[in-house]
Each structure stands twice: as structure tokens, then as C-alpha cells.
Amino acid sequence: MRIVLLGPPGAGKGTQAVLLAKAADIPHISTGEMMRAAIAKGSPLGLKVKGFMDRGELVPDSVVIDIIRDRLSQTDCAKGFLLDGFPRTVDQVKSLDQLLKSLNKELTHIVEIKVADQILIERIKKRGAEGSGRSDDTGEVAAKRLQVYWAQTAPVAAYYREQGRLTEVDGLGSIEEVKARLGKVFGLKCLGPAI
Ligand code: AMP
């Protein structure tokens, strides 16, 4: 399976991505995590992206596209992959399509986890208060990330929807409930029955 998992910050996308990738036995590729690791290492990539991430802004397309191109060329991606946090702009969608075409591959699933805005902001704040360890989970930056999501990333889901490629999953409810809904979409019984 070659999966793109979409959803606003606070939708539970990261949590579900880990569970799903494990159940499907494919690498979980999170551009956010890869860049947080680069910042922690103090690598040139980390230095380049830190300011954008601290402000809750998107890192320039060219930087993330390079990261994805490198990552998808690694051998473990031959059996499939789950992209979490990429693509986040319509230009990234187009680059990904081109890249996959050059590899003679196609996405098999594009899924959006949907949660209402008011709930998202509460969830992100709670995550920050509970010590997620993410400096961008605090009030102002969290609100900025949501704003950036609606301006730049919501059009990604709209683009896939128009092409008839998008499956929407309700993100309301417990981790178990959402996981079971995703299990149904992906035909992964080990994720549990749909509720
Ligand atoms: P995430 O862990 O997916 O919530 O991403 C955290 C931050 O990393 C975002 O707020 C952006 O600053 C940056 N980021 C992650 N993925 C991308 C992407 N595909 N395009 C641009 N910026 C990204």
C-alpha cells in the first residue's frame, strides 16, 4: 500500500499513522518528524527549517520535496509507505505525482481524517499542556498552524476530492474508534472492527 494520510493538526493523524503503518508493515514517513530530528541533531537541514517550524509556518516546498525524494528512494519503501504530513500544498501534490510516476508507482489510498475546528484547537492545547515535547503545540503557534492548514493544506484534500481519489474518515471519538474506521478503509482486520 502507498498511502497518504491527511488531516489538520490535532486530528490524531500522527497517532493513527503509527498504528496503521505498523499494521500494514510499511514505513511511516513523517516530514515533521524527520525535520524535528534534523533540528535535534543541529544538521544543516535542521538549521534551515527551524525558524519556519517555530513560527508554525510551512517549510518551503523545495526543501520538503527533496526530503521525500530521498526517503522514497530508500529500499524499505519498495513494499509501500505511509506519508504523514506530506503533501501539504498543491505544488507538493503535483511533485509527488511526478515523482511516483517516474518510479512507475501510484498512490493506493488517500485518506483524510476529519475533525471540527473547535475540537482541534482544544486537542492541540491539551497535547501541549500534557507535555507533547513539541514547541509548536502551544497556543499561538498552534492557532497559526491551524490557520496555515486552512489556507495552504485544505486545498490538497479538495484537489484529491475533485479527482475522486479521496476517502474521508470521521476523526471524532477515541483513538480505538478512529483506528477501527481506518481499519475498515484499508481492509486491515488487525486494527479492529469498525464501530
Ligand atoms: P507535523 O509534525 O506534520 O505537524 O509538522 C510540523 C511542522 O513541520 C509544520 O508546522 C511545518 O512547519 C513543517 N512541515 C512538516 N511537513 C511539511 C510539509 N510537507 N511542507 C511544509 N512544511 C512541513
What is the mean predicted confidence (pLDDT) over 17-40?
A: 95
Q: Is it the case that residue 194 has pLDDT exceeding 60?
A: no
Residues facing residue 112 across a β-bridge: 6, 168
* DSSP structural state of residue 28: E
For 9, other C-beta atoms within 10 Å of its C-beta total 27
Reference 148, options 92, 60, 90, 88; nearest CA is 88
Please list every protein residue whose CB sits less than 6 Å from any atom of ligand 1.
9, 30-32, 35, 52-53, 56-59, 64, 85-86, 88, 92, 136, 145
Question: pLDDT per residue over 139-185, tens digit each?
Answer: 788 888 888 999 999 999 999 999 999 999 999 999 999 999 999 99
Q: How far is the CA of 35 from the centre of ligand 1 (A)?
A: 8
What pLDDT score was predicted for residue 40?
Answer: 96
Please state at what angle helix 117-129 crosses helix 139-148, rounded to 10 degrees.
140
Q: Is it the case that residue 57 has pLDDT exceeding 60?
A: yes
Mean pLDDT, rounded, of the chain: 90
Reference 109, options 168, 192, 53, 55; nearest CA is 168
For residues 194 and 180, the answer to whether their CB atoms sit within 8 Å is: yes
Q: Is it the case that residue 52 has pLDDT exceeding 60?
A: yes
Q: How far is the CA of 181 from the centre of ligand 1 (A)?
A: 25
Q: Is it the case that residue 47 has pLDDT exceeding 80?
A: yes
Least confident range from 9-13, 89-93, 131-135, 171-175: namely 131-135
For 87, other C-beta atoms within 10 Å of its C-beta total 25
Q: Whose CA is nearest to atom 15 of ligand 1?
A: 32
Least confident range from 62-66, 104-108, 141-145, 188-192: namely 188-192
What is the mean predicted confidence (pLDDT) over 54-64?
A: 94
Q: How far is the CA of 193 from the centre of ligand 1 (A)?
A: 31
- Residues serving a catalytic function are 13, 88, 127, 134, 145
